[in-house]
Each structure stands twice: as C-alpha cells, then as structure tokens.
Structure 1
Amino acid sequence: MKNNVLMQLEKISKTYIMGEVTVEALKETSLDIFQGELLVILGPSGSGKSTMLNIMGGMDTTSSGRVIFGDEDLSRAGDSQLTRYRRNEVGFVFQFYNLIADLTARENVELAANLVENPLSTEEVLMEVGLESRMDHFPSQLSGGEQQRVSIARAAVKNPRLLLCDEPTGALDYQTGKLILGLLAKINRERGSTVVIVTHNTSIGEMANRVVRMRSGEITEIIENETTVSPERIEW
C-alpha cells in the first residue's frame, strides 16, 4: 500500500480572516494518503479535520503548501480543474446526506452517475446498499439510515478513487451507524477506493488501516493498526 501514494499534503496551512479575528484552521500540516487504504481522521471540534477533508476534496483551497493528487498539483489548479477533479475522482458522504428533496433515491444516484464517463450501474449500487425496494422513494419517505445509504450509493456510483466521509454516522443511531461503516468498509475492500473518514468518535479508528489524530490545526499522532476490527464489532 505504501508504495502507491494517491495524495500528498505538503505543509498545508489554512487561515480564515473573520473581521478582526484570524483563525488558523491548519498549520503546515503534511500527510500522505495511500491508494486503497481506509484512513480515519480523529479530533475534537475545531481541530482542523473537516478543513483538511474539504481541501482533499477540492472544495476548499490552502493558504499555503501543496496538494498533489497523482500527477496533478491541485494547489495551483483553477476552478475548472478543481471541478473536473471533484467530478471524476472524488465521492463525498456528508453527515446530513445532502440529497435533493424532489428527486427519488434512484434519481439522486443517477444525477451523480451522469457526471462521469464510466459510472457503475445505478440499480446495482442501490441494491448493494440494500435499497432495492426503496429506489423510487423520495428522501422524505426514507429513514435517516436509508438516506445515508442513498448518499453512499451516490458517491460510489462514480467509482471514485477517493471517497471522503465527513461524520457519516453523526446523525444516526448506534446500529444504523455500524451498518453505514460496514458499507464504507465494503466499498474500500471490494472497489479499491481510498476511504477517508473524519469523525470525533475514537472507536471508529479501530476499523482503519491508519488513524490520524488532530488538535488545534495540527497532526499530533499517526497510528498504523496492525489488525483492523470489522465495523460490526466496534462499540461506542
């Protein structure tokens, strides 16, 4: 795994200026992300973990430092290049699903499938996440767990090299949260997508190949798990 670096973050910093207040969300942070790994980024609120995820996904830019994906320098990319990168290389899973309310589950996933040249089958992906009987339901007709499964299907249908998940279990109950983690692990294992999960839940780190701990905009520790725990066995 370590011979194949998918993304490099090289001394990236992010500073927000809000009126007279300057916030250093990231401070010269460096990290290599490997192809095919499952990486969990842990930290309390305000640690910089979501800022880092947004920079990885091309949704935010750095104040300084470099972001390298494959042979692309994203820190020098313009808007059109970043749009192509987000469209073709990245799948996003958010805490609150971000589904389009007036589209069915099938239509939400098809919308993402239409963005790329070689998508997976919408119906097959929805079946893989256990929604074969709910494809034509609208988000308002689905439970929170079902909506998050649509969100995962929407991200997975593009067959992205990088799947970024921001607190994917944060709005879910314990059992549903473990189900969602199991789906993310399955995509990592069977599709080969690199999966990055940002969370404040330390127990989720047990399923990861590596755990990155953050505090106050800096990485404080990187732990490599010799063995990983299946999501079904994680407790919190």
Structure 2
Amino acid sequence: MPENVLMSLKKITKTYTMGEVTVEALKETSLDIFAGELLVILGPSGSGKSTLLNIMGGMDLPTTGEVYFGQENMSRAGESRLTHYRRSAVGFVFQFYNLIPDLTARENVELAANLVDNPLPTAEVLREVGMETRMDHFPAQLSGGEQQRVSIARAVVKNPRLLLCDEPTGSLDSHTGRLILAMLRHVNLEHGSTVVIVTHNAVIGAMAHRVLRMSSGRIVEVIENASPLPPERIEW
C-alpha cells in the first residue's frame, strides 16, 4: 500500500449545541489517509464515523483542529474553495443513492461530469459498472443495486482523488452488496482513487488495507490487513 499522505486530520473535534445540550460528535481525533489506500471505518450509530466522513469531504468543518488535503489547510478554507474541493477532488457514494429522478442514468452521470475539467467518458464509466444496457433508464426503472451502480459511476466519472462512501451497501442484500464492494475495489485498483467506506458492517473491513474502529467520537483501534480479502469472499 502506498504511504504518501493524501489527507491529514490533526486533533480535530466536532461539537454540536442543541438548545442546552452539547454533543461531542468527535473528540480530538488524528488520522493520516494514504494515497491509493482502501480504508474502512467501523462503528455503531453515534460513534462519530459519519461526522468524520463529512469533514473529510468538506461538507462540514471541525470545531477545533486542522484538516490538510495535500499541503492545503482545508479547515481554514472559505466556502468557494470548499465547493471547488467537493466538485473536483471528492466523489460521494451514499446509502440512498440520491439520484435525480427526472434524469436517466446517463444524464445523472453526465451532470457530475460537467462539474470538472477532465472527466472520464460517461458511457465508459457506466459500462465499467455494468450499466451499459440501462443507461437510458430512469432511477424508478432500476433496482436498488442498479441505482447504486449509477451512484458509483456518478462519483467515479469525476476521476476523484478521494472517494467517500457512507454505508454504500446498507440498503442492499448481501449478494448485491458484494457486487457493489467489488466495484469500489475496482475503482481503487484501476483508477487509483483513495476509497474510504463508512459502515456498521464489520465484515466489510476484511477487504480494506486498514480498518478504523470508532466509539464515542474517538478512533479506538487501527488494524492493518496484510492480505485484504476479495469482496466476493466476504460473507454476511
């Protein structure tokens, strides 16, 4: 696994105030993310894993601490710079797909391609995720697994350096889930994108280069996998 640092999180915290209640979603967390790795973050609901992912993706800023993408301090970036970062450097894959219902699969992917200067070819990316015969179908005409494939294509077409996945198999059966994980592994290997998967499903960690376990807003364990499993061998 390459060990040049793509992103560095330094003693970040995230605190939310709701009325008279203060919630510490992240408690002084530090982490280096390496270029070209596949990282899985595990933890139950409320452990801070999605908050951590949102900060990585520039969708939220830490309350304290610093976030570096390469040499740039993103925790001090303005909204226009964060918008550019989200558009050009980061791809997002969500549990519930977030496709635009009035656009076909091809049009959903093309919309993302138009956000960047040098996108990958839309039809090629859709073929890569096995949607070559379904490009002109609308989301309502697609199964959950097919919609997630389009969601992956939409993220990958930007050729992002960082691909962030929030419970990408959470709405899928185990067979379809393994297919989706195989596609994410393909993106990691063939396109060189750093892939971060947040999940509560511990068995998914077997496919990662590294696994982080979170609890109560902290990283409590880091496991390195010398021999990550192929996704098709994962059982749950």
TM range (shorter): over 0.9
Runs of 4+ in 1 over 4 A off after TM superposition: none
Partner Cα separation in structure 1 for residue 124 and residue 2 of structure 2 = 31
Q: How does 1:53-202 map to 2 (within 5 A)?
A: 53-202=53-202
Q: Secondary structure at the match of 2:119?
A: coil
Give the Cα separation in 1 of the matches to 2:6 and 2:96.
Answer: 27
The whole-number CA distance in structure 2 between the counterparts of 1:169 and 1:210 is 19
d(CA) in 1 for partners of 2:208 and 2:25?
24
What is the CA–CA distance in structure 1 between the aligned matches of 2:233 and 2:52, rounded to whole Å? 28
Superimposed CA distance per residue, residues 161-194 of structure 1 (whole angstroms, 9 cap, x where no aligned partner): 0000000000001100000000000000000000
Instruction: Say what the alpha-carbon RMSD is for the aligned residues.
Output: 0.6
Task: Give how far 1:87 is off.
Answer: 0.5
Contact 2:2 2:37 in 1 (8 A): no
- After TM superposition, give the deviation of residue 3 of structure 1 in Å: 3.6
1:134-154 per-residue CA deviation (whole Å, 9 max, x = no partner) reads 000000000000000000000
Please give the per-residue CA displacement for 1:101-122, whole angstroms capped at 9, x wherever unaligned: 1000000000000000000000
Q: Distance in 2 between matches of 1:224 and 1:93?
A: 24
Gaps of 5+ in 1: none
Aligned equivalents of 2:164 and 2:2: distance in 1? 19
Q: Tell me how far apart the structure 2 counterparts of residues 116 and 125 of structure 1 sit (CA, whole Å).
A: 15
Residue 227 (structure 1) shift: 0.6
Shift in Å at residue 56 of structure 1?
A: 0.1
Other-structure match for 2:209 = 209
List gaps (5 residues or longer) in structure 2. none
Alignment partner of 1:10 is 2:6: no
Q: Which secondary structure does the structure 1 equivalent of 2:102 belong to?
A: coil
Query: TM-score w.r.t. structure 1 length?
Result: 0.99
Identical positions, percent = 76
Q: How many residues are matched?
A: 236
Q: TM-score, normalised by structure 2?
A: 0.99
User: 3-state SS of the aligned residue for 1:169?
Assistant: coil
- Matches of 2:53 and 2:108 in 1, distance apart? 23
1:72, distance to aligned residue in structure 2 (A): 1.1
CA distance in 1, matches of 2:216, 2:140: 38
Amino acid at match of 2:87: R
For 2:21, the equivalent position in structure 1 comes to: 21
